[in-house]
Amino acid sequence: MVVRRIVANIIDLFVLIGSVALGVYLASLVADMFEEPFFLLTISMVCIIILVPIGLQSLFWLDSTTIGKTLVFIKVVKNENGENLDYFQMFTRDFLLKILSANLVTLPAFFGKPTIHDIIVDSKVIIKPKGKRGR
């Protein structure tokens, strides 16, 4: 399980870097449409750079997983009843806590312990049952 979590975090980190690069590219396309930069253009560029990674990962948050977790067949569930996390809990867990803290909160996973974002959201990571791996 520890190796799966580490691999999933590495995949998610590459997805984050790639999606931010895509956001920067799209923002540069928007900037090229105008001759002179202005304040609203800068705000829109920042929004594009932030929203591309959120939009990409949010497709997977609906199934209580991420791109990396999907590829290694693990998912996040609530501690008390094993149900999927809702969209806001996944957003809080994967974007606000992991990304904004530069992924340092995932360090306890290397030692098989609960991570800070798991404790705050009251969740745990499990291996997907074999019958549900295709979804």
Residue 113 is predicted with a pLDDT of 77
Largest CA distance in the chain: 56
Token pair recorded at residue 114:
């609960």
Write the burial class of residue 83 (CB in 10 Å: 0-12 exposed, 13-18 middle, 19+ buried).
exposed
Question: Which is nearest to 59 in space by CA: 87, 22, 95, 84?
Answer: 87
Residues 27-61 as b/e (b if ≥16 CB within 10 A, e otherwise) read beeeeeeeeeeeeeeeeebeebbeebbeebbbebb
Residue written as tokens 């923002």?
A: 27
Residue 133 pLDDT more than 90? no
Question: pLDDT tens digit string along 39-53?
Answer: 777 887 888 888 888
Write the pLDDT tens digit of every residue in 55-106: 888 888 888 888 999 999 999 999 889 899 888 888 888 877 766 666 666 6
pLDDT > 90: what percent of the chain? 7
Query: Residue 134 in contact with residue 128, Cβ under 8 Å?
Result: no
Does position 135 have pLDDT exceeding 60, yes or no?
no
